[in-house]
Amino acid sequence: MSKFNRVIAIVTDSIGIGEAPDAAKFHDIGADTLGHIGDHFDGDLCLPNWQHLGLGNIERLRPILGVGPVPNPQGYYGKMYEISVGKDSMDGHWEMMGLPVTQPLGFFPAGFPDALIKKIEAFAKRKVIVNLPYSGTDVIKEYGEHQLKTGDLIVYTSGDSVLQIAANTAVIPLDELYRICEYARSITVDEYHIGRVIARPYVGDSADTFTRTSDRHDYTLKPTAPTDLDRLQQAGVPTYGIGKINDIFSGIGLDDGVHTVSNDDGMVQTIEAVKSDRQGFIFTNLVDFDAMYGHRRNAQGDGEALMAFDQRLGELLKVMKADDLLLITSDHGNDPSFRGTDHTREYVPLIAYSPTFNASGDLGVRSPFSDLGATVLDNFGVTPGEFGSSFLSQLQ
Ligand SMILES: O=P(O)(O)O[C@H]1O[C@H](CO)[C@@H](O)[C@H]1O
Ligand SMILES: [Mn+2]
Ligand SMILES: [Mn+2]
């Protein structure tokens, strides 16, 4: 019989907790998403629910302002670092589910090769413009009016292995954008080996009004080997993805999933799932921290989103059943005070909580992220994969 009847894992997308041991390789020395958000709020970052689970007790060189250690945390706490070659969402989530990404993905800091762009143009019967690393909100501000006039496709990338296509749905309807992205996905798997093709629809009729919509769609590479989601599924443990989870795993290993429009929606869906008689593994991604604030280098917004999350976390804690286990972690950093607009190579926080706990403690510094998946498998008595060590026995 399982130790915990259900496991709920929430990924606060891009909330790192300090530079990872290999941050220098990524030019990310000094990155500290949570620490710098704390500094920005100068003591007013208020995350009481998460803090009481042990967020402020995680080993750090200096406390997070406003979220210090508590004497008797209600949960277990630690931090993890990843071994995957990249610091994107795909690397982080796959590694969490027992599949570190060891084969380097294709990066195109100078833009995509002509041959690839020409194929996209020929398929779409539209011209491609930009073809450079860009912030997704800046690129539509600068080129959106041109796109409105010409119908050209805005193709851009970032420090991640991503090919992103921005389209104003008034000139390039959503289904056409999706078709073009599916085509781009199909020709960038073996050749170019791009981690994700991302459809970036937006609306508006001038630079000041352009707004991206929640119809974003990520076409991720298919996992290259079985993940812990497949292992759970094969063992008959139901798997349910909330938010971007389905996209990140191309739906593989997931019985069921729901798209969300915001962090708040993601938490509402998670709370509903926990209140329901849904069984097995519930896996939630909250992407606003990343897409709306981290990449936008908006520490104020990031902190406010964390505080809103913490309120919802309080509701979730109240509806959890006695034998539920909650795990909270992140997939990479995205320090809003750091240079550039890319993810940052950081440790991620790890919290475990169940109403049944009668102790609390330190889970230490762990690696790879696969320890999380290994713990979920261990709980359900499923044979583990090659990566990860379970910390289940420490949870008392
Ligand atoms: O600037 P936007 O369009 O939000 O894109 C960002 O989001 C991508 C996926 O997280 C990253 O690789 C980065 O390019
Ligand atoms: Mn992410
Ligand atoms: Mn991101």
What is the C-alpha separation between 345 and 206, in angstroms, rounded? 36
Residue-wise DSSP of 96-136: HTT----SPPP--TT---HHHHHHHHHHHTS-EEEEEE--H
Tell how far the Cα of 295 is from the centroid of ligand 3, in angstroms. 7
ipTM of the prediction: 0.95
- pLDDT grade for 217, boundaries at 50, 70 and 90: very high
For CA atoms 241, 247, 249, 253, the dihedral sign is positive
* 219, 200 Cβ separation under 8 angstroms: no
Neighbours of 287 (CB within 10 A): 25
| pLDDT tens digits, 15-51 | 999 999 999 999 999 999 999 999 999 999 999 999 9
**Is 13 labelled as part of a ligand binding site?**
yes
pLDDT confidence of residue 108: 96
Q: Is it the case that residue 311 has pLDDT exceeding 90?
A: yes
pLDDT score at 104: 87
Q: Is the CB of 291 under 6 A from ligand 1?
A: yes
pLDDT score at 55: 98
Looking at residue 69, what is its pLDDT?
98
- Per-residue model confidence as pLDDT tens digits over 167-202: 999 999 999 999 999 999 999 999 999 999 999 999
At 203, is the pLDDT very low, low, confident or very high (cuts 50, 70, 90)? very high
Per-residue pLDDT at 1 exceeds 90: no
Dmax over CA atoms of the chain, in Å, equals 64
Residue closest via CA to ligand 1's atom 2 equals 136
Query: Is the shortest distance between the CB of 288 and ligand 1 below 6 Å?
Result: no
**164-199 CB burial, b ≥16 within 10 A, e <16:** bbbbbbeebeeeebbebbebbbebbeeebebbbbbb
pLDDT for position 329: 99
Q: Which of 130, 198, 220 to mutate to test the pocket of ligand 1 (most atoms within 8 A of CB)?
A: 198
Mean pLDDT of the region 359-367: 97
Q: Once rounded to an integer, what is the mean pLDDT over residues 86-104?
A: 96
Report strand pairing: 6-12 vs 280-286. parallel
Q: At which residue do the structure tokens 């450079």 appear?
A: 132
Q: For residues 121 and 27, give the distance between their C-alpha atoms in angstroms, rounded to a whole number.
A: 34
pLDDT band, very low/low/confident/very high, at 344 (cuts 50, 70, 90): very high
Q: Mean pLDDT over residues 235-250, rounded?
A: 97
Distance between CA atoms of residues 362 and 54, nearest Å: 9
Using CA atoms, how far residue 259 sits from 16, 249, 251, in Å, is: 24, 13, 12
* Nearest-ligand number for the alpha carbon of 244: 2
Kindly give the distance from the C-alpha atom of residue 106 to the centroid of ligand 2, in angstroms, as a whole number. Answer: 18
Q: What is the mean pLDDT of residues 329-342?
A: 97
Reference 350, options 372, 364, 365, 329; nearest CA is 329
Known binder of ligand: residue 332? Answer: yes
Q: Which ligand is nearest to the CA of 348?
A: 2
Cα torsion angle, 199, 204, 208, 211, sign: negative
Mean pLDDT estimate for the chain: 97
User: Can you tell me the mean pLDDT for 344-354?
Assistant: 98
For residue 164 and ligand 1, the question of a CB distance below 6 A is answered with: yes
Q: Is 220 touching ligand 1 by the criterion CB < 6 Å? A: no
* Strand 196-203 to 162-168 pairing: parallel
Residue 105 near ligand 1, beta carbon < 6 Å: no
User: How far apart, in whole angstroms, are the C-alpha atoms of residue 309 and residue 285?
Assistant: 12
The residues placing their C-beta within 5 Å of ligand 2, an ion, are 13, 89, 290, 331
pLDDT band of 116, cuts 50, 70, 90 = very high
Which domains are seen in the chain, by residue range?
Answer: 6-102+223-394 (3.40.720.10), 114-220 (3.30.70.1250)
pTM of the predicted protein model: 0.95
Ligand 1 contact via 195 beta carbon (within 6 Å): no
Statement: residue 372 has pLDDT above 90: yes
Q: Is 230 annotated as a binding residue?
A: no
What percentage of the chain exceeds 90 in pLDDT?
99
Which pLDDT tens digit goes with each residue over 51-65? Answer: 999 999 999 999 999
At 334 the pLDDT is 98
Please identify, by atom number, the ligand 1 atom nearest to the C-alpha of residue 342. 13
Between CA 334 and CA 187 the distance in angstroms is 29
Question: For residue 145, what pLDDT band results from cuts at 50, 70 and 90?
Answer: very high
Residue from 13, 91, 141, 164 whose mutation best tests the ligand 1 pocket (most atoms within 8 A of CB): 164
* Residue 193 assigned ligand-binding role: no
